Chains A and B, each alone.
Chain A
Amino acid sequence: MTIDAIDRRIIAATQAGLPVTAEPYVEIAGQLGLDVEVLMARMRAMQERGVIRRIALAPNHYALGMTANGMSVWDVQDDRATELGAQVGALDFVSHCYLRPRAEGWPYNLFAMVHGSSRDEVEAKRAVISDLLGPACRAKDILYSTRILKKTGLRIRGEG
């Protein structure tokens, strides 16, 4: 999955978001000195290749009342981990879902971020995951965030 210099400039110009004006792609194309058809074709191609996951509106889940979240972690049998991880990721209350290596004193290989309007709701959703994993899960835990210590966006530069 590679991107060329023009794709990179398109990413740099749109990573903070699209203008909320009648012709956002025309506006971006103008900034980049590209024809709007070329810009749209490249964005469609990036979407097909998975470089753009989706073009969408991201609601602020805190503003909409989903103020509780926990990083649920699971020790899932290796030979079932890919299949079960895919099922957990597809749940509508899971915002991130990854397999990661275990470590000493850390038996968990499946990480799923669970969101809800309260810790009770997060716990209820965690129970749904637990039921889904069944006996393939040998241990579990959940880590609630108590403080944001640092948060910066991921940004790329337009050149290079």
Chain B
Amino acid sequence: MRRAPLPPDALDAVDRKILNALQDGFPIAPHPFAVAAEQLGLEEKDLIARIRHLRELGAITRFGPFFDAAAMGGAFCLCAMEVPEAEFERVMTLVNAHPEVAHNYERTHRLNMWFVLAAETLEGITQSADAIERETGMCVHRFPKLEEFFIGFRVPA
């Protein structure tokens, strides 16, 4: 995934209108681009070409359904560890080797390694976290979600 900003002239006003409008939703219909294009004052084929172009530019990370991971079955848990600087690379290698570790970030805090465990079951989470503790000799703090709030996040384009 592209992590650097696009040059300021990479997108025109129509591109920005598409990015702003379609992050709020996309229709379920036999010709959904025709429905979306009409609302944007565009032709179906132009909207399709624009979205393909935006995808090639790296301006889009995903286009399609966003699923509730928990509804799909499975268990998740945010975990954190306090890893001494000198041991960071060694611990990172041990942690990342677990397929249950979905993503892992270094962060600015005493708890400096934060990762998400994803497994089929809650027991799978416990087993992975316990195994990481045994392998590293360090505590894996577990922060399972108790409540998730509806998100109003928008990326202004």
Binding site for B on A (CB under 8 A): 1, 3, 8, 11, 14-18, 20-26, 36, 40, 43-44, 46-47, 49-67, 71, 81-82, 85-86, 88-101, 103, 105-106, 111, 115, 141, 143-154, 156
Do A58 and B61 touch (CB < 8 A)?
yes
Report which residue of B2, B68, B154, B155 has the largest number of chain A beta carbons within 10 angstroms of its beta carbon: B155
Binding site for A on B (CB under 8 A): 1-6, 18-19, 22-34, 44-45, 48, 51-52, 55, 57-69, 71-74, 78, 92, 95-96, 101-111, 113-115, 118, 141, 143-157
Do A54 and B105 touch (CB < 8 A)?
no
Residues of A within 8 A of B29 (CB): 25, 40
What 19 additional pairs, Cβ within 8 angstroms, besides A22-B45, A90-B151? A8-B72, A11-B65, A15-B67, A24-B32, A50-B68, A50-B71, A53-B66, A56-B23, A57-B19, A57-B23, A57-B63, A65-B5, A90-B150, A96-B151, A101-B144, A101-B146, A147-B105, A150-B115, A153-B102
Looking at chain A's contact residues, the main secondary structure is mixed
Closest 8 CB pairs of A and B: A89-B149, A57-B22, A149-B104, A17-B64, A18-B64, A147-B106, A150-B104, A143-B107
Residues of A within 8 A of B103 (CB): 148, 150-152
Do A55 and B58 touch (CB < 8 A)?
no
Residues of A within 8 A of B4 (CB): 62-63, 67
How far is A115 from B155 in the complex, measured between Cα atoms in Å?
Answer: 9
Do B144 and A20 touch (CB < 8 A)?
no
Do A146 and B59 touch (CB < 8 A)?
no
**B11 (CB) vs chain A CBs: closest residue:** A64
Do B55 and A94 touch (CB < 8 A)?
no
Do B60 and A57 touch (CB < 8 A)?
yes
Q: What are 6 sample pairs from A and B whose C-beta atoms fall under 8 A apart?
A: A1-B71, A52-B66, A58-B63, A89-B152, A97-B149, A100-B144
Residues of B within 8 A of A61 (CB): 155
Chain B nearest Cβ from A36, distance in angstroms: 6
Do A22 and B107 touch (CB < 8 A)?
no
From known contacts A21-B48, A146-B107, A149-B105, infer whether A11 and B67 are also in contact, taking CB-CB under 8 Å. Answer: yes
Do B145 and A66 touch (CB < 8 A)?
no
